[in-house]
């Protein structure tokens, strides 16, 4: 599903965010990618969604080389990859339903189809009764659930979660992780980028450790070792 071969990302300064990274993630895996600030986690996430381009190496997703996609092909890639971040990035003037439906409207989906999809994904994240609420009326955990629902509308094969619980308390953190586990059980490959030791240890899934731009450990059912 995801294969990185000799990936390096070097910025204009002599700084290497990633150095000769080789990685293979199979379809349906749940993988935690961990590391301290500056380890290269966010750069890796950005490469996978084509927000950044590699300096050298190759990235394959679903058997397709996406290393140097043209600008016009990026939206197609991103419809295959759901993304959620620490910042919920919700539109404050739109309701929960409108926030989730927006990407489908832009894609020109019929209204009946949009309603069906939005209702389904809101049920998955436990917000079936909140579709008329505005972001300011929701808790932080609920806002992140809206962001997750929004990321599911195109039925992505891959979910990239970059520090999705960074702004949440323990209870909301556990709820968000449980939702990601549920999404993974549906067959979606999940990549969780985090520095949270407790999350990783509770998941007991594959753990990849990044340190100074390199993979230093790759362990099945691993623990946070930094």
* Residue 44 burial class via C-beta count within 10 angstroms: exposed 0-12, middle 13-18, buried 19 and up: buried
The pLDDT score that the predictor gives to residue 226 is 46
* Residue 125 structure tokens: 């994240």
Q: How far apart are CA 133 and CA 22, in angstroms?
A: 44
Domain ranges of the chain: 2-219
The pLDDT score that the predictor gives to residue 158 is 96
Q: In 3D, which of 79, 45, 85 has the Cα closest to residue 62?
A: 79
CB contact at 8 A, 104 and 118: yes
The pLDDT score that the predictor gives to residue 185 is 95
CB contact at 8 A, 57 and 217: no
- Could you read off the pLDDT tens digit of each residue along the chain, which spans 226 residues? 899 999 999 988 767 799 999 999 999 999 999 988 889 999 999 999 999 999 999 999 988 888 888 888 888 888 889 999 988 989 999 999 999 999 899 889 999 999 999 999 999 999 999 999 999 999 999 999 999 999 999 999 999 999 999 889 999 999 999 999 999 999 999 999 998 888 998 898 999 999 999 999 999 866 555 4
CB contact at 8 A, 161 and 193: yes
In what helix (H) or strand (E) does residue 200 lie, and over which residues does it extend? helix 197-203
* CATH class of this structure's domain 2-219: alpha beta
The pLDDT score that the predictor gives to residue 222 is 62
3 state SS of 33 = strand
Q: How far apart are CA 156 and CA 136, in angstroms?
A: 27
Residue in the block written with tokens 């623990």: 223
The pLDDT score that the predictor gives to residue 103 is 87
Q: How far apart are CA 225 and CA 217, in angstroms?
A: 9
Q: Angle, nearest 10°, between helix axes 111-124 and 170-185?
A: 120
Q: How far apart are CA 80 and CA 8, in angstroms?
A: 23
The pLDDT score that the predictor gives to residue 224 is 53
């Amino acid at each position: 599903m995801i294969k990185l071969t000799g990936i390096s990302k070097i910025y204009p300064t002599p700084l290497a965010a990633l150095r000769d990274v080789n990685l293979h993630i199979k379809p349906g895996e749940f993988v935690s990618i961990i590391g301290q600030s500056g380890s290269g986690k966010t750069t890796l996430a950005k490469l996978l969604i084509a927000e950044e381009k590699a300096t050298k190496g190759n990235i394959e997703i679903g058997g397709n080389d996406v290393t140097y996609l043209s600008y016009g092909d990026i939206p197609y890639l991103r419809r295959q990859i759901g993304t959620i971040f620490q910042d919920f990035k919700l539109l404050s003037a739109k309701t929960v339903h409108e926030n989730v439906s927006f990407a489908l409207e832009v894609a020109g989906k019929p209204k009946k189809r949009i309603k069906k999809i939005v209702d389904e994904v809101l049920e998955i994240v436990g917000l079936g009764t909140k579709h008329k609420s505005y972001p300011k009326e929701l808790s932080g955990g609920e806002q992140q659930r809206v962001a997750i629902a929004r990321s599911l509308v195109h039925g992505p094969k891959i979910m990239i979660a970059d520090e999705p619980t960074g702004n949440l308390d323990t209870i909301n953190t556990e709820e968000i992780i449980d939702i990601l586990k549920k999404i993974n059980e549906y067959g979606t490959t999940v990549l969780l980028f985090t520095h949270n030791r407790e999350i990783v240890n509770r998941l007991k899934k594959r753990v990849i450790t990044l340190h100074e731009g390199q993979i230093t450990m790759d362990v099945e059912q691993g623990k946070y070792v930094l």
